[in-house]
Structure 1
Amino acid sequence: MRPRIGQLLLDFDGVLARYRRERRIAHLAAHAGAGYDRVHAVLYGSGLEARYDAGVVDTGDYLRALGKGIGAPVDEAAWLAARLAATEADPQALARVLALDGRLRLAILTNNGALMARAIPRIVAPLLPRLEGRVLCSGPLGGRKPDPQVFARALDRLGWNPATTLFVDDLFVNVQGARAAGLHADSVRDARALGRVLGRYGLA
């Protein structure tokens, strides 16, 4: 028997948008006049980005550590410029989501720090009327997917029932975490796969 779905929770990078990490690193490197490898090491090799995504460091400390590491101050505007330069909406995915029944509630849950909540509305602007501010980042939730607690906290904040919520991510490990939290969940790699999953649950 097909479950009755009333809410759709979507990952961001890899589902609604295409993210090129190398472009972000190059943008920050140009901003600081630093080498690509240095920026990569500061963001990823040091674990700074993962700690921010998990809420271990706040935005101010994160930006200060990033700026110190790459040799030039990085404020919110510079951070956003780099992220926006590296991310573009998937128009086919957006079209599939926009075609869904207007009564279906939508939200985004992404493994990112709090700053990403400022970038996402600019990248997927056509979805904003449907999202109604429901853009959740893992950092403020105190963890990262696939931790089931992150899904539980997200649904608590949204006021959603896991039994009637479908979660879609491009990484199967995150799908497993969602299922452990009681959500229906499936993985997709592109807009066509997203359409198949939505159809399987009777949403498209």
Structure 2
Amino acid sequence: MKPSIELLLLDVDGVLLDYQRSVRVRHLARSLCVDSAGVQQVLFESGLERRYDSGAIDTAAYLRTLSEGLQAEVSAARWIQARLAASRPHEDVVRRILALPASVRIGLLTNNGPLMAEVLRALLPTLCERVADGLLCSGALGGRKPDPVVYQRALHRLDAEPARTLFVDDLFTNVRGARQAGLQAETVRDGRSVGRVLKRHGLPG
């Protein structure tokens, strides 16, 4: 018999949010009056975004490098606005999560740098209020999913046991990494699949 779940740890993009990278690139390009291809190259193809997501550089260095690469000042506010424009909450999923009893702790674990926390507080205020200190960005943990060490660091921050933690993600590679770290983990795609997973683990879905 599996241990009862005390912590539900959720991926963000693909589970709680529908995220369109191309929309983000176009929005940032328009706001800076630069070419979209340049934003794509500096932000993603250069590896800058991945370095920020993994904690290799801090927010100040990230924004400075991005600004230098685009030859235009990218403020935190402008970055956040572009991310907001590209992200839409999966309302059915959010509603199911918020309906869970208060006895179930909720955490978020996203492969993003620390600036993403501000995006989530703007898009999902009620959920973030319930999550409180359980909003974890990979950049602040010094790695990225699916590295098992990232899950271990997340659970250390949350003072949670792997066997009593259920992690859900839309990417199986991240689910596999969580299982290697000892968590119970499942792949989900939408509100219905989230509901099925919750019920399978003894949670009201």
TM-score normalised per structure 1: 0.97
Residue 20 of structure 1 is matched in structure 2 by: 20
Residue 170 of structure 1 is matched in structure 2 by: 170
TM-aligned CA deviation for residue 132 of structure 1:
1.9
Deviations along 1:76-103, whole A, 9 cap, x unmatched?
1111111111111111001110111121
Identity of aligned residues (%): 52
User: How many residues of Structure 1 are paired with residues of Structure 2 in the alignment?
Assistant: 204
- How far, CA to CA, are the matches of 1:106 and 1:157 in structure 2? 13
For structure 1, the 5+ residue unaligned runs are none
- How far, CA to CA, are the matches of 1:132 and 1:53 in structure 2? 21
Residue 32 of structure 2 is matched in structure 1 by: 32
Residue 193 of structure 1 is matched in structure 2 by: 193
Segments ≥4 residues shifted beyond 2 Å: none
For structure 2, the 5+ residue unaligned runs are none
- Letter in structure 2 aligned against 1:67: S
Alignment of 1:80-119 (within 5 A): 80-119=80-119
- How far, CA to CA, are the matches of 2:81 and 2:66 in structure 1? 15
Decide which moves more: 176-185 or 189-198.
189-198
TM-score normalised per structure 2: 0.97
For residue 74 of structure 2, give the secondary structure of its aligned residue in structure 1.
coil
Please report the RMSD computed on the Cα atoms of aligned residues, expressed in angstroms: 0.9
Deviations along 1:14-54, whole A, 9 cap, x unmatched?
11111111111011101221111110011111000000000
Deviations along 1:114-149, whole A, 9 cap, x unmatched?
111111111111213321231000011000000000
1:144 aligns with 2:121: no
Alpha carbons 1:3, 1:201 under 8 Å: kept? no
Residue 132 of structure 1 is matched in structure 2 by: 132
Alpha carbons 1:32, 1:71 under 8 Å: kept? no
Alpha carbons 2:42, 2:48 under 8 Å: kept? yes
For residue 34 of structure 2, give the secondary structure of its aligned residue in structure 1.
coil
- How far, CA to CA, are the matches of 1:103 and 1:85 in structure 2? 34
